[in-house]
């Protein structure tokens, strides 16, 4: 930025972007979790974008992008699998909405990005993304366990009833026991929810 006084140049201000704390560690940990491809999509100039991502485990970087072009990047990356987009600015909102999972930095980010995202981080710390992913994965695993166990035991009970091995009353009681067991198993996810309190809000 050029600074002038009375029509004369008196100085130049140079603005430098800084990476969020923990960015490199987060990206390395995401790779270790099985995230295969990490792409940076930014509206910054080419030289700034390349300077920011140096020494980072980045697979590709796109620069000088408009909000519509960021959306196109998200859509084009879908050929490689489901896409999670992380952003915080107004210009990230369309891409967040287009992604399979949009995650917005809600503490200092724009309201538009938080509204467009599926998940909002309540703290302005990128390292919170990792425990959020771990909690989501474990919760999904517990949910699948409950579904498969409940269906499997119910089918076994119906087969036993059809063969006359149990009476209708016993079958009804068995079904209630199965339901309670499945509910208790699903409540295991509550531990992760309490442990991760304040990390994310999943919008439904």
CB 150 within 8 A of CB 142: no
What is the end-to-end Cα distance of the chain in Å, rounded? 43
Beta-sheet strands, E only, within the chain: 2-5, 8-12, 39-41, 60-62, 84-87, 101-105, 119-121, 200-202
**Residue 64: pLDDT above 70?**
yes
3-state secondary structure of 186: helix
Query: Lowest-confidence range among 6-15, 37-46, 111-120?
Result: 111-120
Tell me the per-residue pLDDT of 43-59, one tens digit each, with 9 for 90 and over. Answer: 888 888 888 888 889 89
Does residue 201 surpass a pLDDT of 70?
A: no
Whole-number pLDDT of residue 66:
92
Quick: pLDDT tens for 150-167. Answer: 899 889 989 988 888 988
Contacts of 192 (CB under 8 A, 6+ apart): 135, 138, 139
Question: Residue 171 burial (CB < 10 Å; 0-12/13-18/19+)?
Answer: middle
Q: What is the DSSP string of 1-45?
A: -EEEETTEEEEE------PPTTHHHHHHHHHHTT----EEE-SS-
Once rounded to an integer, what is the mean pLDDT over residues 89-93? 86
Query: Which CATH superfamily includes the segment(s) 12-127?
Result: HAD superfamily/HAD-like (3.40.50.1000)
170-174, 177-181, 197-201: which range is least confident on average? 197-201
The predicted pLDDT at position 26 comes to 84
Mean per-residue pLDDT over the chain, rounded: 84
At 193 the pLDDT is 55
Of 79, 59, 202, 92, which Cα lies nearest the Cα of 140? 202
Q: What is the pLDDT of residue 118?
A: 85
- In 3-state terms, what secondary structure has residue 60? strand
- What pLDDT is recorded for position 107? 61
Which whole-number Å values give the CA distances from 169 to 160, 176, 179, in the listed order?
Answer: 13, 11, 16
The rounded distance, in Å, linking the Cα atoms of 113 and 87 is 7
């Amino acid at each position: 930025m050029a600074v002038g006084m009375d029509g004369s140049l008196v100085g130049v201000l140079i603005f430098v972007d800084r990476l969020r704390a923990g960015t490199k560690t987060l990206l390395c940990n995401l790779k270790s979790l099985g995230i295969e491809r990490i792409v940076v999509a930014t509206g910054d100039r080419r030289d700034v974008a390349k300077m920011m991502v140096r020494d980072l485990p980045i697979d590709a970087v796109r620069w000088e992008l408009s909000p519509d072009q960021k959306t196109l990047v998200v859509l084009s990356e879908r050929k490689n699998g489901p896409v999670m987009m992380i952003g915080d600015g107004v210009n990230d909102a369309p891409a967040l909405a287009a992604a399979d999972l949009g995650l917005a930095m809600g503490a200092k980010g724009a309201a538009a990005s938080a509204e467009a995202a599926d998940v909002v981080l309540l703290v302005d710390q990128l390292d919170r993304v990792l425990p959020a992913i771990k909690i989501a994965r474990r919760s999904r695993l517990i949910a699948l366990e409950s579904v498969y166990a409940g269906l499997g035991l119910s089918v076994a009970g119906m087969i036993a009833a059809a063969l006359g091995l149990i009476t209708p009353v016993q079958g009804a009681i068995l079904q209630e026991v199965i339901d309670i067991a499945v509910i208790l198993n699903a409540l295991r996810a509550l531990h992760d929810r309490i442990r991760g309190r304040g990390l994310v809000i999943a919008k439904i």
